[in-house]
Amino acid sequence: MIRISVRALVEFILQSGDIDNRIASADKDAMQMGARMHRKIQRQMGSSYHPEVTMKIQVPFEGFTLQIEGRADGVMETDEGTVIDEIKGVFKNLDTMKEPVQVHLAQAKCYAFIYGEQNGLDSMGVQMTYCHLETEEIRRFRSEYEMEELRKWFYELTDQYEKWARFQVEWKKLRNQSIKQTEFPYEYREGQKDLVTSVYRTILRKKKLFIQAPTGVGKTMATVFPAVKAVGEGLAEKLFYLTAKTITRTVAQQAFEILKEGTHRENGQISESEQMRYKTIVLTAKEKICFCDKAECNPDYCPYAKGHYDRINDAVYEMITETDDLSRSAIEQQAKKWQVCPFELGLDLSLWADAVICDYNYVFDPNARLKRFFGDNVKGEYLFLIDEAHNLVERGREMYSASLYKENIMKVRRLVKERDGKLARQLEDCNKQLLALKRECDGCQVLGSAGGIYLKLLSVMAEMERYLEECTEEEIREEVLALYFEVRMFETIYERLDENYMIYSEIDKEGKFQIRLFCVNPSVNLKESLDKGISTVFFSATLLPIRYYKELLSTEKDDYAVYARSVFDKKNRLLMVGNDVSTRYTRRGEKMYRRYALYLKEMALAKTGNYMAFFPSYRFMEEVYECFLDMVEEENIQLDCLIQAPYMSEEAREIFLEGFEEERDVSLMGFCVMGGIFSEGIDLSEDKLIGAAIIGTGLPQVCRERELLKEYFDKKEMRGFDYAYVYPGMNKVQQSAGRVIRTEEDRGIILLLDDRFQEKRYKETFPREWEGYQMCNIKNVKEKIRKFWDQTSSK
């Protein structure tokens, strides 16, 4: 049985023409304000009107059955007969509509055929109801069809989809058979088999699992392998591997390739017929994969946008039937061959892939997520593997929050004042409301509601959409479009407001005034996407304390949790807490900076090698760096240094890391910022990095949103300071410390340099592997480090 929704079918088969981002074509009928309007119209239609009527029909083909299903907005009985009503909420001027949008009409015709066929009717009426979301003005288009006409049209549509459905049936059979003979590609590490079993069991029971997996456990393969096996056994259809960073996407892709190559065979070689057949795609950001200098998606600028939809289905079908290689280079080659957009080609190929490796936003971000998988009325048998899941808390907050700046409203108003009086007036009305809020705001003010602004923005949205369709001045259009997206995001997030949000107004450091819808706890919003699948595995090397992440990433109370055992010998690592230093603001100064510099000097001189020091801020790092250089110069010590700069380019980052690959006769000390690009996701194994000093507890800087978080969780009696500061900070500490020991052969030192590490609230977050740490001070640290190196080198 192959299932497809009515909407997906008609949009897939009937798409044509150009990609054109100049047309503000937000899918507004899927927005909640459109859904509310649907319900309002339905209630007004009387007793003969039946809303939200579920329909499905099965179309038999040789070897399989195609089931087409969906939900008609309304079925009504009239004097002329039965009519299908399809409702669409829009912002465009209804007077300009001469006929219904063809894809919308096709949806309604599908419902009309299904209903008429199943109820033995001779003819059916189809009504397209368009409703302006601001004015609530309604325009209807009515047409009548004989059932024979609808029958012929409908079966022509399904005949065009037959080859796609047949591919799914045949590919699934081939894929699942190949997975059955796939084995774990390595000898299991200690605890790794238990991890594999836990993941499989979670999928089998359709639950969520949180995995705290220390470095070296092999968590990527331990999650990918059981998930792939579950797909092969029919427990799921598609796997989403979600990451926050490019480097982890590469690691995930390699894991799938290793499974396909079957390295478990004794001679390392397997025949093509024995290989696992699995289509894996990594989604690349539009800006990175675009063939043009600028991702300007319209037929006047980009030749790949012109006629894209006329060719895309053929390009996709050829690729999925002729190769399993859905790599970036293969996609780019296919896009050039067929003259289609490579970014859109990648998204369309993801429909036919077995595993999609992508950034969090493709699944969760309300503006960027893939509607083909996560839109309204879409539910799939998906598995979610969420790597580096500790990042999802802050990313979730950001994705589900929105801001509106008064200054941006005024900027666009000034630009359009002489060009479009109607839009300018709407912007001025909105500005007056924001001005009134600004006058009440003394720096920051928590608000009970933003309803007035929301209603006014509906009018602004309507006028901006009209203006964008008419505007020919590109620079002006870009400014209006930027505000349009800001307003649209605000409206979208407003519709989500619940007890997990705080609304506040603020005058920022630059004097700009904003009203912000701040998502404090993203778990409910994340659930919306995760509910589209059947099981989720959250995993990270730093997912402690587990209750914190459970609270903010899931709404369930019966989620599973596993703490994977570390494979490393504790004797290969020296972990010490320095009790005579502090990063507290009250104790900062020249004397403290020099003491930190002295710690770094003693660590670097005890054994020649590469070291990193992680700091709470650039300023603190620079102060200690200056002291360190002075000390090295005063004592005529031979040491090399590298320092992280703000906003480093990709090339600058690579040069920095290459410094740790070079052969040296003296020690290298890298100065880095905790929570930055070098404290997570880099892999300097063996002697490339033999020590790290973590300066401070990583607490985020005190700011309004952190204080609002603290206030929110305090009210819920959930240790607000810990939720707002300690847990995010200690995650950065653990990530930084995790750079040192990467393989079983590694030897290294970790210094936690702040007296606060002795306090209970911080020690509670220490991973199990940190048990048995030692205390040290500047007087005995040299001796302890040298003793450690003497003992490890004698093994």
pLDDT 10s digits, 623-672: 999 999 999 999 999 999 999 999 999 899 999 999 999 999 999 999 99
Helices and strands in the chain, H and E counts = 28, 25
Q: Residue 741 has what pLDDT? A: 77
Q: The whole model's pTM is what?
A: 0.91
pLDDT at residue 570 above 90?
no
* Phi, psi for residue 784 in degrees, rounded to 5: -65, -40
pLDDT of 236 higher than 50? yes
Query: pLDDT for 713-768, tens place per residue?
Result: 999 999 999 999 999 999 999 999 999 877 777 899 999 999 999 999 999 999 99
Tell me what pLDDT residue 525 has: 97
Fold match flag (2-165 vs 411-521)? no
| Token pair belonging to 477 | 């259009």
Residue 311 is predicted with a pLDDT of 97
d(CA 132, CA 89): 6
User: Pick from 136, 128, 111: which is nearest to 34 by CA?
Assistant: 136
Of 388, 104, 73, 411, the C-alpha closest to 223 is 388
Q: How far apart are CA 291 and CA 492, in angstroms?
A: 31
Architecture of domain 2-165: Alpha-Beta Complex (3.90)
Q: Reply yes or no: is the peptide bond before residue 767 cis, omega within 30 of 0.
A: no
Q: What angle, rounded to 10 degrees, do the helices at 392-399 and 546-553 form?
A: 20
What fold characterizes domain 411-521?
A: Fumarase C; Chain B, domain 1 (1.10.275)
User: Which of 34 and 469 is assigned the larger pLDDT?
Assistant: 469
Which pLDDT belongs to residue 590?
95
Domain chopping of the chain, boundaries: 2-165, 285-352, 411-521, 570-793
Residue 39 exposure: Cα atoms within 13 Å on the Cβ side: 6
Structure confidence at residue 118 (pLDDT) = 96
**How large a percentage of the chain has pLDDT more than 90?**
78
- Side by side, the strands of the sheet bearing 560-563 are 325-326, 280-282, 355-359, 238-243, 382-386, 535-540, 208-212, 560-563
Is the pLDDT at 319 greater than 50, yes or no? yes
Q: Quick one: which H or E segment has residue 317?
A: helix 308-322
Q: Does the structural domain 570-793 have CATH classification 3.90.226.10? A: no
Tokens coding 180 = 């059955």
Q: Is the pLDDT of residue 350 over 90?
A: yes
**Among candidate residues 258, 389, 248, 284, the one with its CA nearest the CA of residue 682:** 248
